[in-house]
Amino acid sequence: MNKRVLFVLLLCLGAFSGLVAQNPIISGQFTADPTARVFEGKVYLYPSHDIPSPVERLQEWFCMEDYHVFSSEDLVKWTDHGVVLSQSDVPWGDAGSYSMWAPDCVYKNGTYYFFFPASPKGEKGFRIGVATSDTPFGPFKPLAEPIAGVQGIDPCVLLDKDGQAYLYWSGRGLNVARLKNNLTELDSAPVLVADVKDGFKEGPFAFERNGKYYLTYPWVKDKTECLAYAMSDSPMGPFEYKGIIMDQSPTGCWTNHHSLLEYKGQWYLFYHHNDYSPDFDKNRSVCIDSLFFNADGTIRQVVPTLRGVGIADARSLIQIDRYSTKSEEGVFIDYVNQDDKFEGWKTFFSHEGAWVTFHRVDFGDGKLQKVSARVSSEMGGTLQVCADGHVIADIEVPVTVGRWQTLTVPLTGLQEGVHNLCVSLSSGRNVQVDWIRFE
């Protein structure tokens, strides 16, 4: 059974109600420009929705027709709430422009306000519109006109402790203006808070922490975008540059776009790379990693990981190719299916002693009895599975001659709770693993 069929089967059985993944966190569709917010105790994710372009003029460019919203309580299982706003819904927008770029969403007085850029009818460039809903998962109803006096992209709204709202956006640099109480009109003239003379900047994300205001933004310091930040004592600046939050993408993605969020006492960085589309960086996917502040309020640089965040349920498909650590030699990661990258990756163990670890797997009460692995091998070998250093299974992998096979063996000595897994090739050569799962 292939991974997609198994996934759909698990959904039908009600085993979980959303999408399950490490980094990237969502597969089956592209997601970019993630703004994450906490509403009603859950994390809501408002990304752009990259699609391969149906129109000739955008074949090599960003192409976005609509927005989906996702939510999660554990940052591991994500529910897709479907399309919440489409370009054909926007009264002032050009319905054939495919320009529904990076959005944001905030809550005020019983209403969720969704801010989005789009190309207006009969005009060049971008305007920023507002759509509202009674729920964080939409659908969102757009207002008749975009926000007057704003031209640009990448809206971000900061709701300050005193109730005042500020709109940040990108348009020849990073701009900020106060918003009126209705959140749909400017209440001050725009101020340029970071210009592009020291490198291109876009995608502002602003927030307040311990009385300091942070302006974080993608910045092309060299070839592609890194994420940088500046701090101020005021939401309208002046901001002082402080450093890099994330360096340029190892996948070569030209853009990065992000948000920072505190959830259940931990800070996270939401960002995007083009993991599922290595040859076309306008089809991007959202990732999450933990983020930490220094005592003086500055931000420690985040190094992107494959493992991502959260605790994996031992009964879910554990993609060990999204490893935490690996041996220096003998481990190679590749796509399972070059023609459908959303099927994910596989781990290739080329020789004895090669290993990967996958941290934070929850075995519950420790009563799980078996482990299954989807494997394939040209030469055969033995995979050893350890939990926190204790051997819990040995899986004999036969020669499968190019076919994938799911093997199941009993577990021994499994302890309850959350453990770090290690999967190694204890004998043999050239064994590939798609996933493992405990039952």
Residues that bind ligand FUB (CB under 6 A): 32-33, 48, 62, 101-102, 153-154, 202-203, 255, 257
Kindly state the smallest distance separating residue 1's Cβ from ligand FUB, in Å. Answer: 36
Q: Which is nearer to ligand FUB, 96 or 417 (CB)?
A: 96
Q: Which is nearer to ligand FUB, 33 or 343 (CB)?
A: 33
**Chain centroid to CA 160:** 26
Could you give the CA distance from residue 159 to residue 389 in angstroms, rounded to a whole number?
Answer: 47
CB of 91 to ligand FUB, least distance (A): 22
Instruction: Quote the DSSP letter at residue 126.
Output: -
Helix (H) or strand (E) holding 9: helix 3-12
116 or 268: whose CB is closer to ligand FUB?
116
Q: Verify whether residue 202 is a known catalytic residue.
A: yes
Q: Give strand pairing partners of 291.
A: 267
- Order of strands, edge to edge, in the sheet holding 205-209? 205-209, 212-220, 225-232, 240-246
Query: Which 8-state DSSP code applies to residue 265?
Result: T
Nearer to ligand FUB, 170 or 324 (CB): 170
**187 vs 247 by CB, closer to ligand FUB:** 247
Q: If you write DSSP's letter for every residue of 377-393 in order, what string do you get?
A: ESS-EEEEEEETTEEEE
Q: How far is the CB of 225 from ligand FUB (least distance, A)?
A: 8
| H, E, C per residue of 174-212 | EEEEEECCCCCCECCCCEEEECCCCCCECCCEEEEECCE
Give the chain's length.
Answer: 439
Element (H, E) at 20: strand 19-20
How many Cβ atoms from other residues are within 10 Å of residue 389's Cβ?
A: 8
* Cβ–Cβ under 8 Å, residues 422 and 331: no
**Type and span of the H or E element at 118:** strand 111-118
Q: Give CA–CA dist 161/214, Å, rounded.
A: 14
Please, what is the minimum distance in Å from the beta carbon of residue 97 to ligand FUB?
13
Of the two residues 255 and 277, which places its CB atom closer to ligand FUB in the complex? 255
**Smallest distance from the beta carbon of 102 to ligand FUB, in angstroms?**
4
Residue number with CB closer to ligand FUB (190 or 203): 203
Report the residue number, 48 or 274, with the smaller CB distance to ligand FUB: 48
Rg of the chain in Å (alpha carbons): 23
Distances from the Cα of 267 to the Cαs of 229, 262, 296, 300, 313, in angstroms?
16, 4, 16, 11, 22
Q: Helix H segments across 147-280?
A: none
Q: Pick the catalytic residue: 65, 104, 154, 202?
A: 202
Provide, rounded to whole angstroms, the least separation between the CB of residue 153 and ligand FUB. Answer: 5
Is 33 marked active-site? yes
Q: How far apart are CA 229 and CA 245, in angstroms?
A: 7
Q: Nearest approach, Cβ of 266 to ligand FUB (angstroms)?
A: 25
Kindly report the backbone phi and psi dihedral angles of residue 220, in degrees, each rounded to the nearest multiple of 5, phi listed first.
-85, 100
**Closest distance between ligand FUB and the C-beta of residue 53, in Å?**
13
Give the residue ranges of DSSP H helices in 13-131. Answer: none
Q: What is the DSSP letter of 89?
A: G
Active site residues: 33, 202
